[in-house]
């Protein structure tokens, strides 16, 4: 447990009729701080802790306590920890960083009749799964559809191969991408699924190169995507590489190295150089506290904590019933990842954009206009030309 942030050692003791100032409200956070998903869990924790410090220094009428536990990237363990925190009195939990963890944790939230808010789970199956479940990350239905349409209408890609890990998140988003891509006239030559914990991708990706698609769509978590991008470049893949917001991690992009240049991904709009007051304040505070820029996941952890605080401000007393009312009352909450409000199914309507990796960082491809966008497009086409030439040389070594 994270004890540094515990403001009081007691749990929630909220007698009926007590005043808000007498209430201590426990917020839980179940995050993958070790294991395969720690690349997301650690920045999310940073964002939550930064928001928590700001909230407790403000005018909130309740005394807040935050308890953070490590799921170890294990969905079953995450569910057990969520149940334990609800039993301890947590009025809400931030968690379900991965879709697999969220799916398991929802059951604990339903048994306790308490709020679960996910900072990053995106599988379409989570939409409307429970009246207790909310998320500040957009559904993969929006993200997969966006990339499928973009690949055909903007990049004029006629064929693609999908490579997806056998887990809930990857299966969900690849199916959405495939449907959108084919609806716009594209052809998916093959869907290649691989077991979780695969580390050697050479055989899988050699099959991709053999099929000679114009594009490959990688649906997996960050470390696997980085490894596949490197292997595709090593094999001389000449097409366009497309992937998801799971790759929007500075660490993953660094791991992919120069091979990541020209890769397209979809993600919610978050820019460290944004001029909105909320974003400027967040980025400056994050840099001061952690000595580095926040990433997309830190921003969503921050927004998740701020949303809970906004719901608490709208309550008469910090009870589960009032908390549900508070969550439903949120309208146009200005977060650092955009304006937030929940629909009747607990989703936010934030529309992802397409980014391209340029000079080791995501650049807003759709936001680029005029000469700058033309430069990005020419760079992409030149990279594709070079890769096709390398492919021809390898196929005909004697020429």
Q: Is 195 exposed, middle or buried (0-12, 13-18, 19+ CB in 10 A)?
A: exposed
Position 21 scores a pLDDT of 46
Q: How far is CA 173 from the centre of its chain?
A: 12
CB atoms within 10 A of CB 356: 22
Span 78-107, pLDDT tens digits: 999 999 999 999 999 999 999 999 999 999
Span 102-156, pLDDT tens digits: 999 999 999 999 999 999 999 999 999 999 999 999 899 999 999 999 999 999 9
CB atoms within 10 A of CB 214: 19
Residue 30 near residue 109 (C-beta atoms within 8 A): no
Task: Average the pLDDT over each of 31-35, 78-82, 373-377 and give the range with the smallest value.
Answer: 373-377
Position 323 scores a pLDDT of 94
Second-level CATH architecture of 141-267+359-394: 3-Layer(aba) Sandwich (3.40)
- Helix, strand, or coil here: 197? coil
Q: Which residue has the tokens 């040389």?
A: 393
CA distances from 4 to 28, 65, 68, 384 (A): 14, 11, 10, 50
Residue-wise burial string across 69-85, b where 16 or more C-beta atoms lie within 10 A, e elsewhere: bbbbbbbebbbbbbbeb
CA pair distance 28, 40, nearest whole angstrom: 17
CB atoms within 10 A of CB 394: 11
Q: What is the CATH number of domain 20-138+272-340?
A: 3.40.50.2300
Span 183-233, pLDDT tens digits: 999 999 999 999 988 889 999 999 999 999 999 999 999 999 999 999 999
Give the pLDDT mean for 298-325: 93
**Helix, strand and coil in the chain, % to nearest 5:** 45, 20, 35
For the packed helices 222-234 and 202-211, what is the interaxial angle rounded to 10 degrees?
Answer: 60
Read off the pTM.
0.84
CA pair distance 139, 148, nearest whole angstrom: 15
Average pLDDT, the chain: 89
Residue 350: HSE in the Cβ half-sphere, 13 Å Cα cutoff: 30
Q: What does the DSSP assignment read for 198-240? A: ----HHHHHHHHHH--SEEEEES-HHHHHHHHHHHHHTT--SE
Position 381 scores a pLDDT of 73
């Amino acid at each position: 447990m994270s004890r540094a942030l515990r403001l009081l050692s007691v749990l929630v003791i909220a007698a009926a009729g007590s005043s808000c100032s007498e209430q201590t409200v426990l917020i839980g956070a179940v995050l993958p701080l070790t294991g395969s998903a720690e690349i997301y869990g650690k920045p999310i924790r940073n964002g939550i802790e930064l928001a928590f410090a700001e909230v407790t220094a403000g005018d909130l009428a309740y005394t807040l306590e935050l308890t953070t536990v490590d799921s170890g990237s294990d969905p079953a363990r995450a569910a057990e920890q969520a149940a334990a925190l609800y039993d301890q009195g947590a009025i809400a939990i931030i968690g379900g960083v991965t879709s697999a963890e969220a799916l398991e944790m929802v059951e604990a939230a339903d048994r306790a009749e308490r709020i679960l808010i996910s900072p990053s789970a995106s599988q379409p199956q989570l939409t409307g799964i429970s009246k207790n479940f909310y998320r500040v990350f957009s559904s993969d239905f929006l993200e997969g559809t966006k990339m499928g349409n973009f690949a055909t209408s903007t990049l004029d890609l006629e064929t693609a191969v999908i490579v997806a890990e056998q887990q809930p998140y990857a299966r969900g988003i690849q199916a959405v991408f495939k449907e959108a891509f084919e609806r716009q006239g594209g052809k998916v030559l093959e869907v290649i699924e691989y077991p979780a914990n695969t580390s050697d991708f050479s055989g899988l990706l050699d099959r991709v190169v053999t099929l000679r698609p114009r594009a490959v769509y990688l649906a997996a978590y960050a470390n696997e995507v980085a490894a596949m991008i490197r292997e595709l470049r090593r094999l001389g893949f000449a097409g366009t590489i497309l992937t998801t917001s799971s790759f929007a991690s500075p660490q993953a992009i660094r791991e992919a190295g120069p091979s990541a240049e020209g890769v397209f991904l979809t993600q919610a709009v978050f820019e460290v150089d944004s001029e909105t007051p909320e974003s400027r304040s967040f980025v400056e505070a994050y840099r001061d506290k952690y000595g580095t820029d926040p990433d997309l996941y830190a921003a969503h952890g921050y927004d998740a904590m701020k949303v809970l605080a906004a719901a608490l401000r709208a309550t008469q007393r910090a009870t589960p019933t009032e908390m549900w009312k508070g969550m439903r009352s949120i309208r146009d909450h200005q977060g650092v990842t955009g304006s937030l409000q929940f629909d009747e199914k607990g989703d936010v309507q934030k529309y992802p954009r397409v980014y391209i990796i340029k000079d080791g960082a995501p650049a807003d491809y759709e936001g680029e206009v005029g000469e700058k966008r033309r430069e990005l497009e020419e760079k992409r086409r030149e990279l594709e030309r070079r890769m096709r030439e390398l492919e021809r040389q390898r196929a005909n070594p004697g020429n």
